[in-house]
Structure 1
Amino acid sequence: MDVFVTGGTGDIGAAVVKRLKSDGVRVIGLARSDVAAEKLRASGVSAYPGDLRSPESWVGRAASCDAVVHMGATFSNDMGRVDRQSMIALKQAARHRKQPLKVIYTGGIWLYPAAARDKVITEKTSFSPLPAFRFMTETIRTLSHGTDLNLAVIHPALVCSRQFGPIADMTRALKEGITFETRATADTLWPLVEVGDLAALYAQVLKQARFRLSLIASCIPGISVGHLASHISARHGLPLDIRTQPAPEDADPDTDWKAGYALSQNVDVTHAQRAAGWQPEHSTIEDLVVALSR
């Protein structure tokens, strides 16, 4: 199988590329720069020159593959426009294929609303995205219409690894003896997923014959920030203080990427496992903290 990947050098993308390569998939990664191309080649995959801002430079190559995994993002003021433009161009490039192009689009848990502790968010919960990510819901609707694409959407929870994510950030603050500052309160619930487990879900979805899927990728349904901090403190035998940090007064909601940390969400973790045969290795908070808090 040939799979074209955008965002293959990012935190999530690098893990997905590694997993696909280990599964014997031939990966072609979009490379905006020579540095990105070198990273892709160093991971054993092919690099294809192009830029999300100029989709005409790469969508033809992407549409010639068996599948496309879209994880790229600019995190700039025009991120929504760039994302939508590139996905519309990809859909148009796929119109003349004999078989619909498989596409995995990366959404996110912050497309869903905050929910009370006794309410569980599922894939059937209506979107209520943060302003900064509203464009994703529009793009998902566009990609879902028609028969040119077989679309699967993966909505990652807060992604954790040893290098990045809430557990790594908390561990770093604890070891440096500083307060962990966050938009959340101690009672805010965070759904979590380990990055290798998330990559395994992408790989598993690519194997599915039934491809029109929407999946929440979470191993931990929702753990309070205070409870998570206590686990990390117990792991290291050191106290970790938490301070709620308000949004900056001049924050623009349309570009406030960190606003989601204030959302309290409790999600269903079973649908992705049933629908895709996903078997995450880190399914308890103890597993996550032991594996990542070092």
Structure 2
Amino acid sequence: MDVFVTGGTGGIGSAVVKQLAQDGCQVIGLSRSDQSAEKLRRLGASAYPGDLRDPATWVERATACDAVVHLGATFSSDMGKVDRIAMLEMKKAARHRKQPLKVVYTGGIWLYPPCKAGDMLNEKTPFSPLPAFRFMTETIKTLSTGTDLALCVVHPALVCGPDFGPVAEMTAALKQSGRFETRASEHTFWPLVEVSDLARLYALVLRQTRFRMSVIGSGISGVSVDHLTSHISARHGKPLEIVTQPAPEGIDRDQDWAAGYALSQSADNTHAKRLLSWSPEHAAVEDLVISLSR
């Protein structure tokens, strides 16, 4: 299978590219620099020059593949506009195909509302996105209409890798100052997923013949910040203090990407397990912390 990947050199994208290459896919990664092209090659992919902001440079190549995995994002003030234009141009370019183009679009757990105690989100929970990510729900709706694309949306929980995500950030804070500043409180619940587990979920999605679906990628359905802190502190033998920070004064809500950390959420992963036989290896907090400890 030929798979075109945007955002293939990011934290999540690198793991997905590596997993797909190991599975025998011919992976083509969008690359806007020599450095990113070299990183893609090291991961087992080939590089195709282009820029997410300029879809004319890459959509024809992307739609010539069997599938597209969209992981790219600018995290700039015009992130939503860039994403929407890119996806619309890709959909337009896919019209010439004899078969619908498989597209895996990356949503996120912050498209869903906070949970009440004891409740869990699932794929049928109505969207209630943070303002900064509202554009995703509109893009998902657009990509879902018509017959040009066969769409799957993956909604990752808070992704944890060796150098990014809550566990890595809390560990770094513990070593530097012993204080972790966050928008969450000690009682906030976070759903978590280890990055290689998430990469396997993307790979499983691509293998499906049925390809109009939505799955939540949550290896650990929900853990309180306090409980996660206790595991990290025990692992390193030092106490970590949680310092809850309010939203910065005057911040534009449409660009307040960190607001999601204040959401208390738990996410049911039953659908992904049953539909795709996904079996995350890091399904316990202790295992996740040990795996990512340095």
Q: Distance in 2 between matches of 1:178 and 1:239?
A: 7
Deviation at 1:42, TM superposition (A): 2.4
Determine the structure 2 residue equivalent to 1:269.
269
Amino acid at match of 2:271: H
Determine the structure 2 residue equivalent to 1:221.
221
Deviations 1:1-40 (A, max 9, x none): 1000000000100000000010010000001122211211
Amino acid at match of 1:155: H
Determine the structure 2 residue equivalent to 1:191.
191
Q: Distance in 2 between matches of 1:98 and 1:137?
A: 27
Determine the structure 1 residue equivalent to 2:66.
66
Q: Distance in 1 between matches of 2:250 and 2:122?
A: 33
Q: Distance in 2 between matches of 1:164 and 1:53?
A: 25
Whether 1:146 and 2:146 are equivalent positions in the alignment is: yes
Is the contact between residue 29 and residue 46 of structure 2 (CA under 8 Å) also seen in structure 1?
yes
Deviation at 1:115, TM superposition (A): 1.0
1:258 is paired with a residue whose SS is: helix
1:102 is paired with a residue whose SS is: strand
Whether 1:161 and 2:161 are equivalent positions in the alignment is: yes
Deviation at 1:273, TM superposition (A): 1.0
Aligned Cα root-mean-square deviation (Å): 0.8
Deviation at 1:174, TM superposition (A): 1.3
2:190 is paired with a residue whose SS is: strand
Q: Distance in 1 between matches of 2:270 and 2:287?
A: 18
Residues paired across the two proteins, number: 294
Q: TM-score, normalised by structure 2?
A: 0.98
User: Structure 1: 5+ residue runs without aligned partners?
Assistant: none
Is the contact between residue 178 and residue 239 of structure 2 (CA under 8 Å) also seen in structure 1?
no
Q: Distance in 1 between matches of 2:148 and 2:197?
A: 29
Q: TM-score, normalised by structure 1?
A: 0.98
* Higher mean C-alpha displacement, 84-93 vs 269-278: 269-278
Determine the structure 2 residue equivalent to 1:21.
21
Deviation at 1:162, TM superposition (A): 1.5
Determine the structure 1 residue equivalent to 2:231.
231
| Percent identity between the two aligned chains | 69
Q: Within 5 Å, which residues of 2 pair with 1:4-153?
A: 4-153=4-153
Q: Distance in 1 between matches of 2:58 and 2:162?
A: 33
Q: Within 5 Å, which residues of 2 pair with 1:246-257?
A: 246-257=246-257
Deviation at 1:67, TM superposition (A): 0.2
Is the contact between residue 132 and residue 253 of structure 2 (CA under 8 Å) also seen in structure 1?
yes
Q: Distance in 1 between matches of 2:267 and 2:97?
A: 37
Amino acid at match of 1:278: W
1:48 is paired with a residue whose SS is: strand
Is the contact between residue 17 and residue 44 of structure 2 (CA under 8 Å) also seen in structure 1?
no
Q: Distance in 1 between matches of 2:224 and 2:117?
A: 10
Amino acid at match of 1:286: E
User: Structure 2: 5+ residue runs without aligned partners?
Assistant: none
Deviation at 1:215, TM superposition (A): 0.4
Amino acid at match of 1:53: R
Determine the structure 1 residue equivalent to 2:245.
245
* Higher mean C-alpha displacement, 151-160 vs 174-183: 174-183
Deviations 1:31-61 (A, max 9, x none): 1122211211222211111111111111000
* Higher mean C-alpha displacement, 258-267 vs 42-51: 42-51
Deviation at 1:270, TM superposition (A): 1.1
Deviation at 1:172, TM superposition (A): 1.1
Deviations 1:68-112 (A, max 9, x none): 000000111111011000001111111111110000000000000
Q: Distance in 2 between matches of 1:155 and 1:182?
A: 22
Q: Distance in 2 between matches of 1:48 and 1:132?
A: 29
Q: Distance in 2 between matches of 1:135 and 1:194?
A: 26
Deviations 1:260-280 (A, max 9, x none): 000000110111111112111
1:95 is paired with a residue whose SS is: helix
Amino acid at match of 1:197: D
Large movers: runs of 4+ above 4 Å:
none
Deviation at 1:177, TM superposition (A): 3.3
Is the contact between residue 131 and residue 254 of structure 2 (CA under 8 Å) also seen in structure 1?
yes
Amino acid at match of 1:32: R
Amino acid at match of 2:203: A
Deviation at 1:202, TM superposition (A): 0.3
